[in-house]
Structure 1
């Protein structure tokens, strides 16, 4: 006879929601209730219906994918690359969308383990102590994409060459004659996008003996609106108007261009703008955005290949760095 949550709740003398919270390891349960529910589960051998089939097999044909945003060209291309490889091998994908929320990342990592997926491809925005604690307990193959976790975890990681890519695009501006270059970035807890790209910007300016002005620096979030606010903030605070702006993503570059147009500036005649990412919209705005291209489709495919190798018993504990290219368009003028 297969028991239901309702029957388990009745035996334990608690509500159905309490049983559900215990099963999902929620914090919002008293110690007394948790103990009683676990005793009943152990005595009855109860297995949640959604997991019963997979527990009998002790594995699934599903790969979990943890995404920070599901509605961008970057991650849609990466998922396409993953599916190109995984579907050929008979695996299904279970996608989760954290919406750049770290707590949701932790929740979904735990959930995917409970769902007994064969492996996880985790597109990380940052690696916190809580991430490390959870990942060390997962006990299934995981590949981390987007953040260098090689010194923190014994999982393989696949990263973009963020430092050198950012240095290349800022060098591009310098070589075009720009000496007053502003920066629109994101929080530095995101090591790849926030920290490394800013570090590259500062390094190139220092190497070329260009002044690093505090008023030229803005740190926000990943939204187009943040690029708009960043450009507004820089122009309001700067004593001298910059001739160029380095935005750490194309979305931020798009926001900066929108503000400049709203205020009557010509891009690139008055101010040049560059980004990183080569998003779908970058060739379609006016002006088309000069940017760095990462091959996200190839990144997804490579992440899938590494994970498959791990599932076959291969050992990957190092990091792998993807290549990049500068895409020259018409958002930069030489001066």
Structure 2
């Protein structure tokens, strides 16, 4: 009713009509989706520069610095190898278990850390959000790009592990690039979902470690999926094959591990189809979901 009241007695125009006449907009108004995407693209240089700065600053106070980008996944892989490879003797069920395990750990940690850190993408940057006007989607994208840069460092180490454990270099190695591209798009969408949820439910970051640990055990990182299938009904086993981290892990193993080819959870064609499906569904769906909450971010 207030917008329809006469704001200018001389012209007889309401406030809404005056705003339209002079091109005024509501502060914090959510732009149309296409316009929002265009604005976000215009900030691409800021996003890449900000992500590089975040990587440089995140480990600047440690003595080993950016070496932790490699040491962290290696340490995780060593712990998992001790428990699942030696104590539980899963190496007997998997050819070249060390390379198999490291590939799974490195790829899964990319999704795990992006999704977990995304829960604080909004609340951890409230000062910037309230001081500057920019598409808020730049923040979860930055979170994912930070993790991508750390993953690329880890890939150098993973390649060395694969070669040292006896795997040959094949033409399939080039397929690792599109695999990581699909996973990055998926992670961006997933991070946008957790960023919006985390902006309202601040306790989500406390719950995420339990969610991601459960996801880890269901993603064929530590042992063959065949062992899980034995304890599941047929319909649940079929759903398990659609698990996004499992799909990307198997695509990476298909690219790097010649010894794993007979043990793929699905055919390569099906894995690529599922990888593309999840990248499109989560990438587009997560972006739309985050955009719909644009005007809420940074407000009490």
TM over 0.5: same fold?
no
Q: Normalized per residue, which structure has more strand? A: 1
TM-score for the superposition, normalised by structure 1: 0.25
Q: Normalized per residue, which structure has more helix? A: 2
